[in-house]
């Protein structure tokens, strides 16, 4: 009797061992000893990572050139942009002037882009008295000194105001923004991809 019982126990343990061996390959030993929630957390994290990389690689993000502008007449605005943004500035693009005084935004259209890279003295020569307000606003808005002549210079842009704003005084200064296109984050962060 004991021998029969022992044979039955051996068969039982053998069946369990074979079953364990077969299922450990199918399910993975790590997943069998880990908590049950770990498998769905793994798939959730994998989905999040793949979605994030797809967003970075394929979703376009708007790029803007920012500078400083001042209203030089009731119909016109003159803006200064860093020379690094010159390639994205074209005649016909919409320029938005955001005054410091908070009177709302003023929509303009670029009428002319000066091809030269100017320093502060050249800007003063071309613009006269309104240049001082714009150059001093550059450091107030961006927290940095205006660019110098040469590679760090500025590009002079003339724009016309699309809809006349009656209460806006000539000489009002503010931030100028121009949308210069769309780039994916992957191209923006790639070497040489950003501005």
Per-residue pLDDT of the chain (195 residues; tens, 9 = 90+): 566 666 666 676 778 777 777 766 555 555 555 667 777 888 999 999 999 998 888 888 888 888 888 888 878 888 888 887 878 888 888 888 888 766 678 888 888 888 888 877 787 777 777 777 777 777 666 555 555 545 567 888 888 888 777 677 777 788 888 887 777 777 666 665 554
User: Do 109 and 91 contact (CB within 8 A), yes or no?
Assistant: no
Calculated CA dihedral for residues 102, 172, 158, 132, nearest 10 degrees = -130
Superfamily of domain 61-182: Efflux pump adaptor protein, beta barrel domain (2.40.30.170)
Output the DSSP codes for 38-76.
HHHHHHHHHHHHHHHHHHHHH-EEEEEEEEEEEE-SSSE
Every domain of the chain with CATH number 2.40.30.170 lies at 61-182
Q: What is the pTM of this model?
A: 0.61
Q: In a 3-state reduction of DSSP, which class is residue 139?
A: helix
């Amino acid at each position: 009797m004991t021998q029969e019982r022992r044979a039955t126990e051996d068969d039982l343990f053998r069946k369990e061992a074979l079953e364990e061996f077969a299922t450990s390959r199918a399910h993975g030993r790590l997943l069998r000893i880990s908590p049950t929630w770990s498998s769905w957390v793994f798939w959730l994290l994998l989905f999040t990572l793949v979605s994030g990389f797809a967003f970075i690689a394929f979703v376009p993000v708007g790029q803007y050139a920012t500078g400083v502008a001042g209203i030089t007449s009731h119909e016109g605005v003159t803006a200064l942009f860093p020379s690094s943004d010159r390639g994205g500035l074209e005649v016909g693009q919409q320029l938005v002037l955001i005054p410091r005084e908070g009177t709302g935004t003023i929509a303009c259209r670029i009428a002319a882009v000066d091809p030269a890279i100017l320093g502060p003295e050249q800007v003063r020569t071309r613009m006269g008295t309104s240049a001082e307000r714009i150059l001093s606003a550059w450091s107030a808005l961006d927290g940095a000194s205006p660019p110098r002549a040469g590679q760090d210079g500025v590009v002079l842009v003339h724009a016309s105001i699309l809809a006349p704003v009656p209460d806006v005084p000539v000489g009002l200064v503010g931030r100028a923004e121009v949308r210069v296109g769309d780039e994916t984050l992957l191209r923006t962060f790639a070497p040489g991809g950003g501005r």
